[in-house]
Amino acid sequence: MTLLELNIGQRATITDVLGTGPVRQRLLDMGLLPASEIIMERIAPTGAPVWIRLEAMQLALRRNEATSIMVEPLASSTEVQA
Amino acid sequence: MSSAAQQEPAPLQVALAGNPNAGKTSIFNQLTGANQQVANYPGITVEKRWGNFQLGETQVALLDLPGTYSLTPFSPEERVARNALLEDNLDVVVVVVDSTQLYRSLVLLAQMMQCGVKVVLAMNMADEAQKAGQKISLQALEKHLGCPVVETVGSKGQGIDNLSQAIAKAAASNNHPILNLDQGLGAAIDRIGSLLPEEMAKSPAKDWLATRVLVGDTNIEERLKEKNGSPTLFEQAKQARQALEEERGKDIDLTLSSAYFKFAGDVLAKNLEQKPRADARAFSDNIDRILVHKFLGLPIFAAMMYGIFYLTFTLGEAPMNWIDTGFSALGTWITGLWPTGSESALQSLLVDGIIGGVGGVVIFLPNILLLFLGLAFLEDSGYMARAAFLMDRVMHRFGLHGKSFVPMMTGFGCSIPGIMATRTLENERDRLTTMLVLPLMSCGARLTVWMLLIPAFFAPAWRAPMLGFIYAAGILLAMILARLLRVSLLAGAEAPFVMELPPYRMPVGKQIFKKISERAWIYLRKAGTVILSISILLWFMTAYPKKEFYEVDHKVAQGQLSLSAEEIAGQRAYEGLRYSIAGRIGQAMEPVIKPMGFDWKLGTAMIGAFAAKEVFVAQVGIVYAMSDVDEENSDLRSQLARDYSPLVALSLMLFLLISTPCMATIALTARESGSWKWAMLQLGGLTGIAYLISVVVYNVGKLFV
């Protein structure tokens, strides 16, 4: 599944980063690499971008970027946010 | 450059590199103080900041490279940084990193090491990292990396002396830290390195160049072809790439990025004595729970924007009146230097041309300062990134960026600060698009025109809807044009949107002051140069050639008319303007502007509107032979209503809304975009579209009226 499909508060491991060119390179430069662990923090009120957490970083990604990141949710990881 | 070097010892060439938001600029300011300059790199929107400082006996020339996450050449910022590293013969590069983001930041250091430059690592925001409980041994880190490491707090000026000493130490040493990537990758890089053309193989950046050849970087391949690289090189690189990809089951970009992050991970694993606490950002995260809340986020943002604009225009009003009074007093004083009856051209030039023209621009300075205070606060606190997060989806639909929202809103006050506020946009295409369509936001100066025209032509019930319509038309057209620009002139692959959301920080007064004063200075300098020259030109066009005899004098002398002195003066001004270059241009333009329903009077007034939109009101006053006109003048309104239909008024308002942004806007677009090409496109494109729309509206409208 893609990062965009994660529920708010869900943790996941990145399995692959699709796409080509500058967009993919930027994702890789930020450390969005296979085996990295991320948390879906929130989605903007208008439905995009999404806000994720990666290590000490917090990042906003547009739908396009979010759908090119394939993830594997970590079991029983949903921490419900207030 | 080289000729200066013969007289005195060449200054040490030092550059600051680092990720965006790492606090590079504050370090730069601490090192150079006031000895610095800012300009754009030629032809692009990337800002170039350089300066110098004294290091013992040595003079240091410091260059602030644009903030980048890596040296891959995809964005203009990255290309600038990379070209500087490969071509500028830098003695030392200071890599400034955010100490709370070491893992990601060390990747750029790894790439710098491959470039073979002498590196100093400045661990900035060290106070925040300490507060979060992070502990790292600087000595161990220095040993591990093979370069000097210092802790700094740029915003407070801490660690700056240590940094200077580290720069001196690095410059004096012969150590180039070497980056060792994993075996397979390292071997492939070495093999390609040995095949590089001689000039490149000798370059300190050999490893970096070989790495880029290995990944198939087209930019480097072009360089190689210029240097007559061996034709087998690309073939060999391709084979090595394919072998690695097959062996590891993943593409080379992924392999390389993973290798850089593995380096970063190893550095931290070996030298981090204590990790930062997991809840180090709790305070900031709690604020975000409210400020970007699902339901509260947008209303809070709207309230904040409203607050900033409200303060800008209410607090700005008093100082604007002072400036206005000051310039009027100056004008009156200069007028008084000539005894009545002996008024000269010089007097008119000084009072009407220079003071009028420049004063009309300087008067917006208080607004600009206040607005920039608000914007600097939003930026430095970290809220701007949240605002972009909230607005991005809407703006992106129209080919803009979430961060375009604030400059566009600012444009309702004045296009000048709006265009300057586009500096918060990092991406060149986003920035150009925003800049080019921004003048369509109906600015404060145009409001004076609407205030004159709308009550003159429309019944009270229709006035508010009409004003709303004009603003809406501007917004709609801006959105459409932005969209069109993104599929035509500014087309191209979408820039990546991976926006960092830094924790909230207390803005530092000194830095805010610096930001505001820098922008205010750019604005004033513009007023003093381009705007001054155009003011003089426009003054000349409306004042010359002078009429020697006025018909009104003749008629009064013959007793055909009996007029008050004021009416005579008004008639003279009318005849004078008609006779002037501007008047003649207006008359000559008549066939061209006729399809929009305009006559020469409106044409002449529009020439003035190019200087500043509100001048239109004064010029219309002159062509209607009224002295002392403002937008409240009801006589002028009834005269206009007599001469033109509401349809012409609509056509006129649309034309003034869309066409010819004022000269200050054009001049600033040229500066901020880095090229007159964009400014001329803005001028020509908007005027062309305005013409088309007005012609269509007028002619279609005629069928119904």
Regarding the domain delimited by B183-274, which CATH topology (the fold level of the hierarchy) does it fall under?
Helix Hairpins (1.10.287)
What are the residues facing B40 on neighbouring strands? B47
- How near does any CA of chain A get to the CA of B71, in Å? 10
Give the model's pLDDT for residue B634.
64
Judged against a pLDDT cut of 80, whether residue B363 lies above it is answered with no
> Each residue of B195-221: pLDDT tens digit?
888 888 888 899 999 999 999 888 887
- How near does any CA of chain B get to the CA of A35, in Å? 10
Residues of B in contact with A42 (CB under 8 A): 292, 294
Judged against a pLDDT cut of 70, whether residue B457 lies above it is answered with yes
Task: Using DSSP, state whether B413 is helix, strand or coil.
Answer: coil
Residues in Cβ contact with B425 at an 8 Å cutoff, skipping those fewer than 6 apart = B401, B403, B404, B407, B431, B434
Residues in chain B: 705
Q: Cβ of B75 under 8 Å from any chain A Cβ?
A: yes
Contact (Cβ atoms closer than 8 angstroms) between residue B453 and residue B622: no
Please indicate whether residue B387 or residue B492 has the higher confidence score (pLDDT): B387
Give the model's pLDDT for residue B624.
73
Q: Which of A42, A23, A53 is nearest to B253 (CA)?
A: A23
Contact (Cβ atoms closer than 8 angstroms) between residue B392 and residue A49: yes
Pair of tokens at residue B304? 């904040």
B430: Cα within 13 Å, side-chain hemisphere: 27
Does the distance separating the beta carbons of B393 and A44 come in below 8 Å? yes
Give the model's pLDDT for residue B308.
82
Residues in Cβ contact with A8 at an 8 Å cutoff, skipping those fewer than 6 apart = A40, A41, A42, A43, A81
By CA distance, what is B102's nearest residue in A? A56
Mean pLDDT of B509-521: 85
Average pLDDT over chain B, rounded to an integer:
87
Residues of A in contact with B295 (CB under 8 A): 45
Cα(B135)–Cα(B126) distance, integer angstroms: 10
Pair of tokens at residue B570? 């008004």
Does the distance separating the beta carbons of B497 and A62 come in below 8 Å? yes
Beta strands across the sheet bearing A50-54: A69-73, A11-17, A37-43, A50-54, A57-61, B498-500
B705 pLDDT band (50/70/90 cuts)?
confident
Beta strands in B560-629 (DSSP E): none
Letter for the amino acid at A56?
A
Pair of tokens at residue B523? 């604005």
Judged against a pLDDT cut of 80, whether residue B80 lies above it is answered with yes
Contact (Cβ atoms closer than 8 angstroms) between residue B184 and residue B208: no
Cα(B235)–Cα(B231) distance, integer angstroms: 7
Report the CATH number that the domain containing residue A52 is assigned in CATH: 2.30.30.90
Cα(B688)–Cα(B705) distance, integer angstroms: 25
B4 pLDDT band (50/70/90 cuts)?
very low
Of the residues B258, B301, B497, the best mutation for testing chain A's interface (the one with the most A CB atoms within 10 Å of its CB) is B497
**A20 in a structural domain:** yes
Among A26, A33, A46, the residue with its CB nearest the CB of B498 is: A26
Pair of tokens at residue B232? 């087998």
Cα(B241)–Cα(B222) distance, integer angstroms: 18
Residues of A in contact with B497 (CB under 8 A): 49, 60-62, 64-65
Mean pLDDT of B529-544: 77
Residues of A in contact with B292 (CB under 8 A): 42, 44, 51
Mean pLDDT of A54-68: 94
Mean pLDDT of B575-589: 88
**A82 in a structural domain:** no
Does the distance separating the beta carbons of A56 and B501 come in below 8 Å? no
Task: Using DSSP, state whether B14 is helix, strand or coil.
Answer: strand
Pair of tokens at residue B226? 């210029």
Does the distance separating the beta carbons of A47 and B497 come in below 8 Å? no
> Each residue of B478-496: pLDDT tens digit?
999 999 999 998 887 777 8
Does the distance separating the beta carbons of A31 and B104 come in below 8 Å? yes
Q: Which of B82, B298, B309, B62 is nearest to B163 (CA)?
A: B62
Contact (Cβ atoms closer than 8 angstroms) between residue B302 and residue A45: no
Does the distance separating the beta carbons of A25 and B253 come in below 8 Å? yes
User: What is the enclosing helix (H) or strand (E) of B54?
Assistant: strand B47-55
Cα(B480)–Cα(B437) distance, integer angstroms: 9
Of the residues B69, B218, B389, B400, the best mutation for testing chain A's interface (the one with the most A CB atoms within 10 Å of its CB) is B389
How big is the CA angle at B184 (ends B181 and B185), to the nearest 5 degrees? 50
Size of interface A-B (CB pairs under 8 A): 115
Cα(B581)–Cα(B546) distance, integer angstroms: 10
Judged against a pLDDT cut of 50, whether residue B441 lies above it is answered with yes
By CA distance, what is A68's nearest residue in B? B496
**A26 in a structural domain:** yes
CB burial readout B582-606, b (16+ within 10 A) else e: bbbbbeebeeebeebbbbbbbbbbb
Cα(A43)–Cα(B298) distance, integer angstroms: 13
Q: Which of B44, B33, B209 is nearest to B677 (CA)?
A: B44
Does the distance separating the beta carbons of B107 and A31 come in below 8 Å? yes
Judged against a pLDDT cut of 90, whether residue B651 lies above it is answered with yes
Q: Average the pLDDT over each of B215-219, B293-297, B311-315 and give the range with the smallest value.
A: B311-315
Domain count, chain A: 1
SS3 content of chain A, % helix, strand, coil (to 5): 20, 35, 45
User: Chain A residues contacting B, CB < 8 Å?
Assistant: 17, 21-34, 42, 44-49, 51, 55-62, 64-65, 81-82
Give the model's pLDDT for residue B638.
85
Mean pLDDT of B116-125: 95
Distance separating the N- and C-terminal Cα atoms of chain A: 25
> Each residue of A17-60: pLDDT tens digit?
999 888 899 999 999 999 999 999 999 999 999 999 998 899 99
Residues in Cβ contact with B430 at an 8 Å cutoff, skipping those fewer than 6 apart = B400, B401, B403, B404, B495
Range of the domain at A50: 3-73
Q: Which of B167, B138, B139, B133 is nearest to B30 (CA)?
A: B167
> Each residue of B253-284: pLDDT tens digit?
999 999 999 999 999 999 999 999 988 899 99
Does the distance separating the beta carbons of B501 and A51 come in below 8 Å? yes
Q: Which of residues 334-393 of B touch A (CB under 8 A)?
A: 385, 388-390, 392-393
Domain B10-172 has CATH 3.40.640.10: no
**A27 in a structural domain:** yes
Q: Which of A32, A68, A65 is nearest to B258 (CA)?
A: A32
Cα(B267)–Cα(B277) distance, integer angstroms: 19
- How near does any CA of chain B get to the CA of A56, in Å? 6
Cα(B479)–Cα(B489) distance, integer angstroms: 15
Among A25, A59, A81, the residue with its CB nearest the CB of B74 is: A25
The three-state DSSP-derived secondary structure of B559-570 is CCCCCCHHHHHH
Give the model's pLDDT for residue B345.
79
Q: Which of B124, B53, B46 is nearest to B82 (CA)?
A: B46
Judged against a pLDDT cut of 80, whether residue B450 lies above it is answered with yes
ipTM of this complex:
0.93
**A81 in a structural domain:** no
Judged against a pLDDT cut of 80, whether residue B231 lies above it is answered with no
Identical fold between B10-172 and B183-274:
no
Contact (Cβ atoms closer than 8 angstroms) between residue B220 and residue B203: no
Give the model's pLDDT for residue A18.
95
Mean pLDDT of B440-463: 86
Does the distance separating the beta carbons of B497 and A49 come in below 8 Å? yes
Among B69, B393, B498, the residue with its CB nearest the CB of A61 is: B498
Cα(B145)–Cα(B147) distance, integer angstroms: 6
Judged against a pLDDT cut of 90, whether residue B522 lies above it is answered with no
Give the model's pLDDT for residue B185.
93
Give the model's pLDDT for residue B214.
94
Q: Which of B48, B16, B226, B4 is nearest to B671 (CA)?
A: B48
Residues of B in contact with A58 (CB under 8 A): 281, 500-501
Kindly list the domain boundaries of chain B, sorted by start residue: 10-172, 183-274, 297-446+460-487, 529-704
Q: Which of B416, B410, B324 is nearest to B662 (CA)?
A: B416
Judged against a pLDDT cut of 60, whether residue B134 lies above it is answered with yes
Does the distance separating the beta carbons of A42 and B294 come in below 8 Å? yes
Task: Using DSSP, state whether A79 is helix, strand or coil.
Answer: coil
Give the model's pLDDT for residue A71.
97
B466: Cα within 13 Å, side-chain hemisphere: 23
Give the model's pLDDT for residue B554.
85
> Each residue of B595-618: pLDDT tens digit?
999 998 888 888 877 777 777 877
- How near does any CA of chain A get to the CA of B500, in Å? 5
Give the model's pLDDT for residue B626.
56
Q: How many CB atoms lie within 10 A of CB B345?
A: 13
Residues of B in contact with A44 (CB under 8 A): 292, 297, 389-390, 392-393
Contact (Cβ atoms closer than 8 angstroms) between residue B653 and residue B627: no
Among B103, B389, B496, the residue with its CB nearest the CB of A22 is: B496
Judged against a pLDDT cut of 80, whether residue B697 lies above it is answered with yes
Distances in whole angstroms, Cα of residue B669 to Cα of each of B404, B416, B662, B677, B680: 15, 9, 11, 10, 9
Among A25, A31, A44, the residue with its CB nearest the CB of B392 is: A44
Q: Cβ of B172 under 8 Å from any chain A Cβ?
A: no
Does the distance separating the beta carbons of B69 and A22 come in below 8 Å? no
Does the distance separating the beta carbons of A48 and B393 come in below 8 Å? yes
Beta strands in B104-170 (DSSP E): 118-124, 135-136, 149-151
Give the model's pLDDT for residue B232.
81
